[in-house]
Amino acid sequence: AAKDRGRRTFALYEAEMTANAAHYMTRSLELRRGLENGELVLYYQPQFDGKTGEMAGVEALLRWNHPTHGLVGPHEIIPTAEKSGLILEIGSWVIREACTQARRWQDQYGQKLRMAVNVSVRQMQQPGFADSIADQLAISGLPAEDLEIEVTESMIQDEISMIQTLHDLRAVGISLAIDDFGTGYSCLRSIKSLPISRIKIDRAFVNGLPGNSNDVALINAILAMAEALGLSVTAEGVETRAQYDFLRDVPGIKLQGFLLGKPVPAEDVFTATIGKTKQI
Ligand code: C2E
Ligand code: MG
Ligand code: MG
Ligand code: MG
């Protein structure tokens, strides 16, 4: 009986696998179609200088304007894209689009603006990735110093080829940030030795400010470490006035979060805030 049960369970499992595989096939075909139809779009979330309150840059965040499902976020796009290999095409589209948009804004408003772009590990592993970035900068006319690439801690775990790619990117002149800092497995030694210029403190830590004493202790430790290593800091997920007040006086800090500005389509980013101090 146990054997039968085992077999039955396996049959169910197999059916589920087949259903998942079919679902996945459908999704990746859909995504390819969406990419080809121009349904992928970038939203931009502003980042503010803590001291002056001025907008210092934006982060490009992928969205899919799906004809029937509406606006779809990256958590529903990236896994399918990575599994199917479409991430390479999508990733280069993201970089091209983001650089072009940043340059357009700089021309339009005559103001320095840094564009931050997320990449996935498969892009970084692609031979010639740094060269392709250099090409996109040349084509768009965006100065290298105005592009920042965000990588996660897990992407750079002591993998030689990945570390070489970071150095190649740095040689192109762009800056590199570690995203979601503190949530991955942090190797402090590699942070010190890698050509990283910024850490983005994950919103999990910002969340508990200023009331949660553990989060306060962790944030203070991260800030002290960043200062000692000469790293710039961005805090993610600033949602409340109290969090903002806690963080804004940290020298050189940049702040990002729903309190200050949500991710919005390109046409909505600057109209309200460019050249003005964001007053909250
Ligand atoms: P991330 O790079 O850490 O981006 C920040 C995420 O936090 C964004 O979610 C943003 O909308 C959200 N966020 C910003 N401020 C707040 C806040 O105050 N409160 C809360 N609760 N959330 C906030 P989103 O747009 O859903 O992106 C999720 C993740 O998907 C990103 O996390 C990034 O890792 C990835 N991603 C986004 N665009 C791309 C892309 O073009 N390529 C790749 N490879 N990954 C991307
Ligand atoms: Mg990011
Ligand atoms: Mg993040
Ligand atoms: Mg994240």
> Near ion ligand 3, which residues have CB within 5 Å?
179-180, 236
CB environment 95-116: b (16+ within 10 A), e (fewer): bebbbbbbbebbeeeeeebbbb
- pLDDT string in tens for the chain (280-residue length): 555 656 666 666 666 667 777 777 788 999 999 999 999 999 999 999 999 999 999 999 999 999 999 999 999 999 999 999 999 999 999 999 999 999 999 999 888 899 999 999 999 999 999 999 999 999 999 999 999 999 998 888 767 888 999 999 999 999 999 999 988 776 677 788 889 999 999 999 999 999 999 999 999 999 999 999 999 999 999 999 999 999 999 999 999 999 999 999 999 997 755 445 555 4
pLDDT for position 5: 59
Ligand 1 site, residue 48, Cβ cutoff 6 A? no
10 C-alpha to center of ligand 2: Å?
40
pLDDT for position 11: 67
Ligand 1 site, residue 239, Cβ cutoff 6 A? yes
Rounded CA separation 225/276 (Å): 32
pLDDT for position 158: 65
Ligand 1 site, residue 94, Cβ cutoff 6 A? yes
pLDDT for position 72: 96
Ligand 1 site, residue 47, Cβ cutoff 6 A? no
Query: Could you give the ipTM of this predicted complex?
Result: 0.98
Ligand 1 site, residue 261, Cβ cutoff 6 A? no
Ligand 1 site, residue 73, Cβ cutoff 6 A? yes
pTM (predicted TM-score):
0.92
Rounded CA separation 261/137 (Å): 27
Ligand 1 site, residue 196, Cβ cutoff 6 A? no
Burial of 78 (0-12, 13-18, 19+ CB in 10 A): middle
pLDDT for position 274: 47
Burial of 263 (0-12, 13-18, 19+ CB in 10 A): buried
Which ligand minimizes its atom distance to the CA of 47? Answer: 1
Nearest atom in ligand 1 to 238's CA: 18
Residue nearest to atom 12 of ligand 1 (CA): 237
**Most ligand 1 atoms within 8 A of CB, residue of 45, 58, 61 to mutate:** 61
